[in-house]
Structure 1
Amino acid sequence: MSILQSCHACLRALVVGALTAAALAAVDARADDALEQTRVKAAFVLNFMKFTTWPEQRATAPGTLTLCATERSPLDGQLQALEGRDVRGLRVSVVHRPAEEVPACDVVFVTRADAATLAALQRAAAGRPMLTISDQAGFIDRGGMIEMKLVAGRTRFDINLAAARAAGLTLSSQLLQLAERVVQ
């Protein structure tokens, strides 16, 4: 093997190594971005609760605001970090329940917005003051109240005000002004 061939092989190995390192760094950056996005969404959920007023009569325990998630680890477990936080003098309690078992919830985070899950949620929530939130596309068009979405790398949200009012909830005018779209 000549020196030129040896240098060429070394150069090729160096380029392959550099490309591999760059690819791994990009995957790590995307993973960090995904984790940060889930943290931001969980913070949004907390703020949605802070800007919502429930009627005096709620089905949940006094002194608590119950946040139900329809799967075990919504938002990669970031909703669990809201446990014990204070919202309007109420302590947040995070529980995991299927959509058909949410009657004793003040807030429901829906991870899967498929037709069966939404139908079960709508039956369980009918006539109850329950704030429904999801990050699934089309959620508010199918009766949900707040739909989070990613727009140009930033978390945004739409609101179905008619659904919130029908449930007896009052959403702050400040929250409504921040929404990209409000369905009356």
Structure 2
Amino acid sequence: MKRICFVHLLVCLLAWCFCGAKAAGASDDVSQESLYAILSYKFLRYAQWPEEMVADEGELVIGVYGNSSAGRRYREAFSDLCRGLGESAGARCRVVDLSDPSVDTRQLKLVFFAEESRRVPQELMDQLRSQPVVLVGYDDAFLDRGGMIRLKTKRSQGSFDVDLDNVRAVGLDFKSSFLRLADQVRIGGKR
């Protein structure tokens, strides 16, 4: 049942992305970067934030970490998403490059890691793990390094895992409807 719900969500997101791309005159292909950007953004709808953050409905600031060409592609995908949000809903959204150590991480609500987690400086992970920000990545060790949501492809289907201990350690939580969609939910170090 949860696989069907996730597949339905994925199809809806692809359709939304495809229609938006066609309206902008883009190609028919939806890149993995665009898909992961949309999914990561949609995860925010299921996040339950601390009270002080609920009142702060200001600008959505998304951090993307990655020095490689993949990092540049993901930053562009998230920037495209922000432009689309601004045009459709008047939302204020921007993307910052977390490869730049001068970025103030206190303003972030979402961070996407476009690098293997072992390449992310431990100081940055420690800093992000001390504040309520949703951490999304896609490599196998991401949850073990303190990440919250790991995107993955399994038998040509998209899925994700959640480490609820890492989520709750910073005062966040996710709605149970979201957790039911996860392939695996880790609690207490167990899957």
TM-score by length of 2: 0.67
The 1-side partners of 2:183 and 2:72 are apart by 27
Would the alpha carbon gap of residues 162 and 90 (structure 1) be closer, same or farther in structure 2, given more than 3 Å must change? farther
State yes or no: 1:154 paired with 2:157.
yes
Sequence identity (%): 26
The 2-side partners of 1:119 and 1:98 are apart by 13
* Mapping for residues 58-73 of structure 1, pairs under 5 Å: 58=53, 62-71=57-66, 73=72
Would the alpha carbon gap of residues 133 and 74 (structure 1) be closer, same or farther in structure 2, given more than 3 Å must change? farther
Task: Show the counterpart of 2:82.
Answer: 83
Task: Show the counterpart of 1:139.
Answer: 142
Deviations 1:95-123 (A, max 9, x none): 22228543331111111134351512322
State yes or no: 1:57 paired with 2:56.
no
Over the aligned positions, Cα root-mean-square deviation in angstroms equals 2.7
Shift of 1:52: 0.9
Structure number with greater Rg is 1
Unaligned segments of structure 1, at least 5 residues: 1-31
Shift of 1:39: 2.3
Q: Report the count of equivalent residues.
A: 149
Unaligned segments of structure 2, at least 5 residues: 1-27
The 1-side partners of 2:151 and 2:179 are apart by 13
Would the alpha carbon gap of residues 99 and 168 (structure 1) be closer, same or farther in structure 2, given more than 3 Å must change? farther
The 1-side partners of 2:124 and 2:115 are apart by 11
The 2-side partners of 1:116 and 1:154 are apart by 26
Shift of 1:131: 0.8
State yes or no: 1:48 paired with 2:43.
yes
Would the alpha carbon gap of residues 183 and 43 (structure 1) be closer, same or farther in structure 2, given more than 3 Å must change? same
The 2-side partners of 1:179 and 1:99 are apart by 32
Question: 1:155 aligns to what SS in structure 2?
Answer: strand
Shift of 1:139: 0.7
Which structure is richer in relative contact order (CA contacts within 8 A, separation 6 or more)?
A: 2
The 2-side partners of 1:92 and 1:150 are apart by 28
Question: 1:78 aligns to what SS in structure 2?
Answer: helix
